[in-house]
Chain A
């Protein structure tokens, strides 16, 4: 999959690949060097001209690392935990335990598929109520055994379907919001791709909320917002800008606690470096949070969310 605005980068990538497949010839090293410097210049140019809509497309890129990719890249000894003990085992929400450098964590995240087959199995990363209930069951277990929780957000949103409504999608998310607020262990959430609305927030009530540099987090998809407010879903680019959904914007608004860097060219091009940055941030942050008492972790988390919002004591001018 090649994004429209990355076509230039892609062309040079292909040239470099083709060149590397050739046998060495007199000018080889010089040509490669030339292409590589062109490549870096092009990446720098394209990435300096990003806008919120382009970042949304990077965040949704099919080659972007998924939750399972990060588990493989940063963790060891992953043990998956299945099922909500009621309805079933939601494949869009993966839960389990893993170690990062011997530190033990409970982990929860939405899984989008990379292939059509996996995407279907994972319901395109859109959980049903049982996914949120599975997540909550595992979070409560983490609380019981006093282990930190890491969540990885990557969803367009909670699934809008008949069964999802029959089984109480709203109630499941609402319950998670309240119960996550009350957890007495460190909770760190990271938006790794797309943070879509209540379906994302349902695993997002954390002591620290981070976003990867080229991820987005939004109350409604830019397309959805455009079709309602602009009455034209092709105005998604304008909506993406207006909604302030990038990591930079949300940090400025005080709604997230930090940005985890991705190399220019983003995680779909540099998964290992991105994973390393993610790993460092998660270890550093959980270590810091572990110094707080159990009650303080809860109180701080509740207070943080109670203070979110912008309003005034004076009327609009």
Chain B
């Protein structure tokens, strides 16, 4: 059952204003129309621009089939974390206003070429995709829904690491999400990870590295320690391409690099191998 449907996905939240823009990476002038048609990939250098969680869902899930779950889980400032002239609570409110999301992940059930999956997508726009209690809880819930409906789980990571302002609560989300994956294993349901730019820190040392199959977008930064921390520690410059998805493929830590335009089809093909709906 290999479906080759050529469907046209429109990313609703149009980011284009005017006719053209400058690529963040190669600084070439690119046409917005072409950029949108390529799902926000630079036609010149293939740089994959960031997508919000909702845009990613539009890319991967059949139109009108996505049902968001557990939207009503909100973050709290459990440590009353204050720094400089601000607080974690203030930062949360700013991020909520900016993104229209309660925290850094959306989970839900939706169809891929008419077959249901459970999906969770992180959002870098929300405090750098950092993993705090809400992200951990929703990943746990996504695992539980996959088990409940007996459907595959797909998670899309984009994260700078742990949510420092939640202290050890955030570190424990690494153990929590990994324990959830351990639970999912018992039910023999597929778990596919998609790594996008960037996937670093605590997320890269927990659920994101535990997929049955791990896919990555081209050129994404994927690694545990941040490049700056490594450079400070070893006191030398890092080679070009260090910790890119291509580097991870070469070293055996991701299974494949998939261009954004092929992501949905490839995801479906893999799920079809692992699972009979």
Residues of A within 8 A of B (CB): 158-162, 164-171, 173-175, 177-179, 181-182, 197-198, 201-202, 204-205, 217-220, 224-225, 228-231, 238-239, 242-245, 250, 253, 255, 301-302, 305-306, 308-316
Contact = CB atoms under 8 A, between A and B. Distances in A.
Contact of B171 (A162, A167, A197, A225): A197
Interface string B49-79: 0000000000000000000000011111111
Given A165-B243, A168-B251, A177-B174, A198 B224 contact: yes
Contacts of B96: 316
27 contacts: A158-B205, A158-B224, A159-B233, A169-B205, A170-B223, A174-B204, A174-B205, A175-B209, A177-B174, A177-B205, A178-B181, A178-B182, A178-B185, A197-B171, A201-B171, A201-B172, A218-B171, A230-B83, A242-B82, A245-B167, A253-B78, A305-B176, A309-B136, A310-B133, A310-B169, A311-B133, A312-B75
B109 interface: no
Contacts, number: 204
Contact of B140 (A159, A173, A306, A315): A306
Given A164-B225, A242-B83, A311-B133, A306 B176 contact: yes
Interface residues of B, number: 67
A230 B82 CA distance: 10
Q: Is the interface of B mostly helix, strand, loop or mixed?
A: helix
Given A238-B83, A243-B79, A309 B169 contact: yes
A57 to B, nearest CB: 19
Contacts of B82: 242
B168 to A, nearest CB: 5
**Those 6 A-B pairs whose CB atoms lie nearest each other, nearest first:** A160-B225, A309-B133, A177-B178, A170-B224, A170-B204, A174-B209
B169 A242 contact: no
A181 B79 contact: no
Between B204, B226, B238, B243, the greatest number of chain A beta carbons within 10 A of the residue's beta carbon is seen for B204
A35 B175 CA distance: 49
B179 interface: yes
Contacts of B183: 302, 306
Nearest to B134: A311
A313 B179 contact: no
A95 B173 CA distance: 26
A160 B252 contact: no
Nearest to B173: A309
Contacts of B115: none
B210 A178 contact: yes
A168 B253 CA distance: 7
Interface string B108-149: 000000000000000000000000111011001000000000
A202 B252 CA distance: 20
Given A169-B224, A170-B223, A245-B167, A306 B205 contact: no
A159 B172 CA distance: 20
A178 B207 CA distance: 9
B208 interface: yes
Contact of B164 (A160, A171, A182, A219): A219
B92 interface: yes
A242 B253 CA distance: 35
A118 to B, nearest CB: 19
Between B73, B164, B166, B201, the greatest number of chain A beta carbons within 10 A of the residue's beta carbon is seen for B164
B151 interface: no
Contacts of B22: none
Contacts of A166: 251
Contacts of A181: 175, 178-179, 182
A313 B103 CA distance: 13
B137 to A, nearest CB: 5
Contact of A308 (B77, B176, B238): B176
Contacts of B84: 229-231
Interface in B163-206: 164-176, 178-183, 185, 201-202, 204-206
A35 B253 CA distance: 61
